[in-house]
Amino acid sequence: MSKDVAIIGVGQSAFVRNYEGSIRELAFEAFREAVQDAGISSRDIGASLICSAPEYDKQRSPSGLIAEYLGLNPQPTFMLESVCSSSTTGIRVGYSLIKSGLHDIVLVLGFQKMSEISSADSQERMGRGADIMWEAPFGTMMPAYYAMHAQAHFARYGSTEEDLALIRVKSSKYGVLNEKAVYRKEITLEQALTAPPVSTPLKRFDCCANADGASCIIMAGAARAKEISKKPVWILGLGAATAPMTLTGRDALDGLNCARLAAKQAYEMAGVKPQDIDVAEVHDCFTIAELMAYENLGFAEPGKGVELIREGQTYIGGKIPVNVDGGLLSKGHPIGATGGSQVRTIVLQLRGEAGNIQVPGAEIGLVHNIGGVGIYGNVVIMGR
């Protein structure tokens, strides 16, 4: 378990439905919080990684625009994209830049201003995150894809719509407490179960909402981290994997193989096991995604993830608290910013600074961030 790269600063804008400013102003909100948290200035940052999914804003190459606005010239800046997992891909690249010796301090900033286009246009762009020859032309949208995952899990393991609703109830309980979440309203089990269908068996509250938002993570090598930060959070393990873009190219639909492989790599690098994780942030773009994550990350055996939510084991005080900031289901999902927001939550947990959602004694945390429909899988394990 090496401690070579640490996170020394984190920041996040509020996630909202319609941000009134520009993308540069949105990015600045997260950046300002992160540099203040780290106690540094833009002059200390050796390189910046700007992470976002394209086609939501008219600006080409937004990395240059944002780097200029944040005062990061003439340091190098790079644009990264792996759809919804873009900013944890940024964490992986930033770690590599620091380990290589090219830079001592690297900034990873994820953003998305999804309100620039209509909801229908947004869904169409998300659909094009799949194969545009063999799948997207037939109307496959994100809810339909995850509905197929849900149907497969139901058929193989006997999980139910009520199990998914229980996940949404948990999300809403913690989303109320998160001042940066877009959806801050508690939902009852009955409301979740009787909501209008979106794509059977998924209903309205099984699906996360589009949002505008930005997140910012500042990373440093060991020597600089110890010099600058009183509470560095160390990156202990990283895992990344991919899967065929078309669902017909996969062996099964009741889980995400990219997540399983990424988790295996991250556990091995960190020298820990699933039972060592004290708190986790998983990519719950849909309720079924959180259920699959329980199993893909080894928190439960395949088919046994339902027992965790039925028994309340993924709440604070349970066996493995998951998404105690409300997750994507309550926070919203500004694509490029999502992974950085997850990392921020875990950093605050490990510092003991998570306030009314603090998991007592949390020492090791995990982030599971998925891009597209299980195409890209990133897992980050951190320790204090």
**Which residues form the catalytic set?**
84, 333
Q: Tokens 């990392």 appear where? A: 343
Stated as kind and residue range, the H or E segment containing 106 is strand 105-113
Question: Distance (Å, rounded) from C-alpha 371 to C-alpha 84?
Answer: 4
* Residues recorded for the chain: 384
DSSP state of 101: T
Cβ neighbours for 304, distance < 8 A, ≥ 6 positions apart: 295
Other residues' Cβ atoms within 10 Å of the Cβ of residue 176: 17
Q: Which of 159, 371, 150, 358 is nearest to 258 (CA)?
A: 371
Q: Which of 30, 376, 20, 368 is nearest to 218 (CA)?
A: 30
| CB distance 330 to 349 below 8 Å | no
Coil vs helix vs strand at 360 = coil
Q: Tokens 């990344």 appear where? A: 240
Greatest CA separation for the chain: 56
Cβ neighbours for 222, distance < 8 A, ≥ 6 positions apart: 3, 4, 5, 6
Q: Tokens 């926070």 appear where? A: 331
Residue 109 backbone dihedrals phi, psi, to 5 degrees: -120, 120
Classify strands 5-12 and 105-113 as parallel, antiparallel or unpaired: unpaired
